[in-house]
């Protein structure tokens, strides 16, 4: 594949712009969040794209808050977004801006448009403005947009418009009493160009400017000005802004100022996931989840608390690429990228989440503990090893024992020998049950010569189990997270995404045991519980009660499903040869 074909369509546009002189270096991009909520993995795609382009072209990257609506914005969201962008690795420290930094310049530009006869103060109600703009209708199966109706205030004189607009700014009118609109074309087929609102009155305190202003710019008016003032070369937006691009261009042309190029790409959709800000807010407000950092949410805060690494998210965003058309990405790809990173970076520890007691009957009763060596990370030699306590009483996983096992069950059973990871071979001699017939304990013997899990006489065992000491392990809480929704596309079948909520998306296990190493673990550190999955230390964790969140299981169905075509072809050829022989 040539380098040209490897480039996404945005890179091809930038290359052409540089080649033709349409723009000159440095390339300048931005991530422009509205501080009215917490950002999610869909925003991460935009951050990685915009920052990645700036790095690739040795350009600049801005983090700019589009804080033009004080009724929905808050400093809490600003701080959260800055923290998340930082964590993802996008460097914006010298390029942090706010739309509110430009309020005076935007106001001055609005006066310019009024003086040009391209803006006017409208005194209609919001309902009247909406009705008079018109809306798309179906006629003979086709969608048409009949012309709107001019406002009766559209032909106010320039002097009157300036006077009213200044009074709006000075706080002499109530909210909703007047708006400032651009004078474009009430018959335009694109509804966004039917005299769009530029300013509305809002007597709300702003998180950045306080009570300095009581009129606030609309997003479409502010956005292009912000890009222009900051010297943005390529304003990269998601597809829903494609119909707004003509308005973006109209404002900049009317003002005769620096004109960035707006480019649209498809936003991220993921199976079993909802990314709508409105729906995420509903889940938080209605208590469906436990706050914005709930590990089941796709918010960056939630993903971080669950144990996602920034590297795994960046890798995911790189793999899905950039497209012009909407599609839905399989969540298994995100989980695959996560496993790839965690496998390389997470230390291994032993833990049992559904304990079954094992007593080693031939273990010396006068011996308190035997400290065994465990490898911290087989993928990283520099991670070293640790000491794991082995004692007479142990816990293994309930699911690792069956009294009457099927043919291909290679774990512990009566009379069967298995290996304990890093420890010894043990054989089950007796099963102890309670009055209800439930298995409560196994009586076993061990082979001291098999220390470290080795077989001195060459005998083989098929099963290797994880375990912990019953007397030297730490009782812990483990939170098992499953997908928040049961349907690939929540709400697709029923029309209501709430119908597809998974009632078993969280399972809390309070009777788990983990090797004592866990007491040294710090908040947000990630580990692999061997044979179980990857886990992260929760912020609620204490030394007395460690809490681990399940990040992802060990099983990687995406990797299996997406193995290389050449490998699959060879497997098919082998099957064909075997069939021919038979």
Write the CATH number for 448: 2.40.240.10
* 176-181 average pLDDT score: 97
Structure tokens at 113: 């448009």
Same structural domain, 102 and 206: yes
Task: Kindly give, in sequence order, each residue whose CB lies less than 8 Å from that of residue 457, ignoring residues fewer than 6 positions away.
Answer: 449
> What is the C-alpha separation between 303 and 78, in angstroms, rounded?
18
Same domain, 245 and 281: no
Per cent of the chain over pLDDT 90 is: 88
CB atoms within 10 A of CB 109: 22
- Convert the pLDDT of each residue in 25-39 to its tens digit: 999 999 999 999 999
Once rounded to an integer, what is the mean pLDDT over residues 5-25?
91
Structural domain contains residue 2? no
* Nearest alpha-carbon partner for 316 in 335, 342, 300: 335
> Is 571 a domain residue?
no
Whether 169 has a pLDDT exceeding 70, the answer reads: yes
Residue 570 lies in a domain: no
- Computed over every residue of the chain, the mean pLDDT equals 93
CATH of the domain at 234: 3.40.50.620
Q: What was the pLDDT predicted at 561?
A: 73
Contacts 24+ apart (CB under 8 A), 193-199: 193/246, 193/247, 193/250, 194/133, 194/134, 194/148, 195/122, 195/133, 195/148, 195/151, 195/154, 196/220, 196/221, 196/247, 197/122, 197/129, 198/110, 198/113, 198/119, 199/110, 199/165, 199/168
In angstroms, the CA 469 to CA 389 distance is 6
Same domain, 358 and 311: no
Q: Residues 460-473: pLDDT tens digits?
A: 898 999 999 999 99
* pLDDT at site 563: 65
| Contact of 271 with 330, CB cutoff 8 Å | yes
pLDDT given for residue 581 in this prediction? 41
Residue ending a domain, choose from 289, 310, 345: 345
**Residue 1: predicted pLDDT:** 39
Is residue 263 over pLDDT 70? yes
Decide which of 265, 300, 335 is a domain's last residue.
265
φ/ψ (deg, to 5) at 236:
-100, 120
> At 580, is the pLDDT very low, low, confident or very high (cuts 50, 70, 90)?
very low
Q: Which pLDDT band holds residue 66 (cuts at 50, 70, 90)?
A: very high
For residue 558, what pLDDT is reported? 66
Q: Does 209 reside within a domain? A: yes
CA distance 14 to 4: 12
List pLDDT tens digits, range 327-380. 999 999 999 999 999 999 999 999 999 999 999 999 998 889 999 999 999 999
If you average pLDDT over residues 442-470, what whole number do you get? 93
Asked whether residue 576 is domain-assigned, the answer is: no
Look up the domain containing 239 and give its range.
10-265
Closest to 71 (Cα-Cα) out of 152, 175, 173: 175
* Tally of domains in the chain: 3
pLDDT at 458: 85
Instruction: Select the more confidently predicted residue: 346 or 581.
Output: 346
CB burial of 476-509 (b: ≥16 within 10 Å; e: otherwise) equals bbbbbbebbbebbebeeeeeebeebbeeebbeee
CATH code, domain carrying 295: 1.10.1160.10
Q: Is residue 515 part of a domain?
A: yes
Kindly state the helix (H) or strand (E) to which residue 570 belongs, with its residue range: helix 565-581
199 and 156 belong to one structural domain: yes
- Does any domain span residue 575? no
Residue 35: name the closest of 4, 2, 76 by CA.
Answer: 76
Q: Last residue of a domain, which of 345, 368, 390?
A: 345
Q: Are both 467 and 446 inside the same structural domain?
A: yes
Residue 572: pLDDT over 90: no
Residue 440, classed as helix, strand or coil, is strand
d(CA 235, CA 14): 11
Position 221 pLDDT exceeds 60: yes
Instruction: Check whether 483 has a pLDDT greater than 70.
Output: yes
Q: Averaged over 478-506, what is the pLDDT?
A: 96
The order of strands in the sheet holding 215-217 is 119-122, 179-182, 197-201, 215-217
Q: How far apart are CA 424 and CA 396, in angstroms?
A: 13
Q: Which residues, listed in sequence order, are joined to residue 573 by a DSSP beta bridge?
A: none
Note whether 503 and 472 are same-domain residues.
yes
Answer yes or no: do 423 and 475 share one domain.
Answer: yes
pLDDT of res. 2: 44
pLDDT digits 0-9 by tens, 293-311: 999 999 999 999 999 999 9
Mean pLDDT across 245-255 = 98
Instruction: Return the pLDDT at 570.
Output: 52
Model confidence over 82-92: pLDDT tens digits?
999 999 999 99
pTM for the predicted model, two decimal places: 0.90
Q: What is the pLDDT of residue 567?
A: 47
Average pLDDT (382-397) is 96
Residues 40 and 125 in one domain: yes
User: Between these two residues, 108 and 572, which has the higher pLDDT value?
Assistant: 108
Cα gap 546→397, rounded to integer Å: 19
User: What's the residue count for the chain?
Assistant: 582
Is 163 a member of any domain?
A: yes
Q: Which helix (H) or strand (E) holds 558?
A: helix 557-561
What's the start-to-end Cα distance of the chain, in Å?
Answer: 41
Task: Report the distance separating Cα 281 and Cα 287, nearest Å.
Answer: 10
Summarised one tens digit per residue, pLDDT across range 499-553 is: 999 999 999 999 999 999 898 899 999 999 999 999 999 999 998 899 999 999 9
For residues 236 and 284, membership in a common domain is answered with no
Q: How far apart are CA 72 and CA 382, in angstroms?
A: 49
Q: Taking 60 as the threshold, does the pLDDT of residue 566 lie above it?
A: no
Residues 211 and 164 reside in one and the same domain: yes
Same domain, 470 and 414: yes
CA distances (Å), 4 to each of 1, 126, 240, 325, 453, in order?
8, 49, 27, 20, 53
- Say yes or no: 190 and 290 in one domain: no
């Amino acid at each position: 594949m040539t380098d040209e074909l490897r480039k996404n369509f945005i890179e091809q546009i930038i290359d052409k712009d540089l080649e033709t002189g349409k723009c000159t270096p440095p390339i300048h991009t931005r991530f422009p969040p509205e501080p009215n909520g917490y950002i999610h993995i869909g925003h991460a795609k935009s951050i990685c794209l915009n920052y990645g382009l700036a790095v690739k072209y040795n350009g600049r990257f801005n983090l700019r808050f589009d804080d033009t609506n004080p009724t929905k914005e808050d400093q809490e969201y600003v701080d959260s977004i800055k923290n998340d962008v930082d964590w993802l690795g996008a460097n914006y420290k010298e390029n942090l801006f706010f739309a509110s930094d430009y309020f005076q310049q935007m106001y001055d530009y609005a006066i310019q448009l009024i003086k040009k006869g391209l803006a006017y103060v409208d005194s209609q109600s919001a309902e009247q403005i909406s009705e008079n703009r018109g809306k798309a209708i179906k006629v003979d199966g086709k969608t048409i947009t009949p012309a709107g109706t001019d406002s009766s205030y559209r032909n106010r004189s320039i002097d009157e418009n300036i006077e009213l607009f200044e009074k709006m700014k000075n706080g002499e009118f109530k909210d909703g009493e007047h708006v400032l609109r651009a004078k474009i074309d009430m018959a335009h087929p694109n509804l966004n160009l039917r005299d769009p609102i530029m300013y509305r009155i809002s007597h709300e305190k702003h998180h950045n400017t306080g009570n300095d202003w009581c009129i606030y710019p609309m997003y479409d008016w502010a956005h292009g000005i912000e890009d222009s003032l900051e010297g943005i070369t390529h304003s990269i937006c998601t597809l829903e802004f494609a119909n707004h691009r003509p308005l973006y261009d109209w404002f900049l042309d009317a003002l005769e100022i620096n004109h960035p190029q707006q480019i649209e790409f498809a936003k991220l959709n993921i199976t079993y996931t909802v990314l709508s800000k409105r729906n995420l807010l509903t889940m938080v407000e209605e208590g469906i989840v436990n706050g914005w950092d709930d590990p089941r949410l796709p918010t960056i805060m939630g993903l971080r608390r669950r144990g996602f690494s920034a590297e795994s998210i960046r890798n995911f965003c790189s793999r899905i690429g950039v497209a012009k058309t909407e599609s839905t990405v399989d969540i298994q790809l995100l989980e695959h990228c996560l496993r790839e990173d965690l496998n390389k970076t997470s230390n291994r520890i032993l833990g049992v989440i559904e304990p079954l007691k094992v007593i080693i009957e031939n273990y010396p009763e006068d011996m308190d503990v035997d400290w065994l060596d465990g490898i911290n990370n087989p993928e990283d030699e520099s991670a070293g090893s640790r000491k794991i306590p082995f004692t007479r009483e142990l816990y293994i996983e309930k699911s690792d024992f069956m009294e009457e096992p099927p043919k291909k069950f290679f774990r512990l059973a009566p009379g069967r020998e298995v290996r304990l990871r890093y420890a010894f071979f043990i054989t089950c001699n007796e099963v102890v049950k309670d009055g209800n017939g439930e298995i409560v304990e196994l009586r076993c013997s061990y082979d001291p010569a098999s220390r470290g899990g080795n077989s001195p006489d060459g005998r083989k065992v098929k099963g290797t189990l994880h375990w912990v000491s019953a007397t030297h392990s730490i009782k812990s809480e483990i939170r098992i997270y499953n997908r928040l929704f049961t349907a690939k596309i929540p709400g697709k079948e029923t029309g209501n995404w709430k119908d597809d909520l998974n009632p078993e998306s969280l399972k809390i296990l309070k009777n788990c045991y983990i090797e004592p190493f866990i007491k040294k673990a710090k908040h947000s550190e990630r580990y692999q519980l061997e044979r179980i999955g990857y886990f992260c230390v929760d912020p609620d964790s204490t030394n007395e009660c460690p809490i681990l969140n399940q990040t992802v299981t060990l099983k990687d169905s995406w990797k299996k499903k997406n193995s290389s075509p050449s490998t699959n072809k060879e497997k098919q050829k082998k099957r064909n040869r075997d069939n021919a022989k038979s």
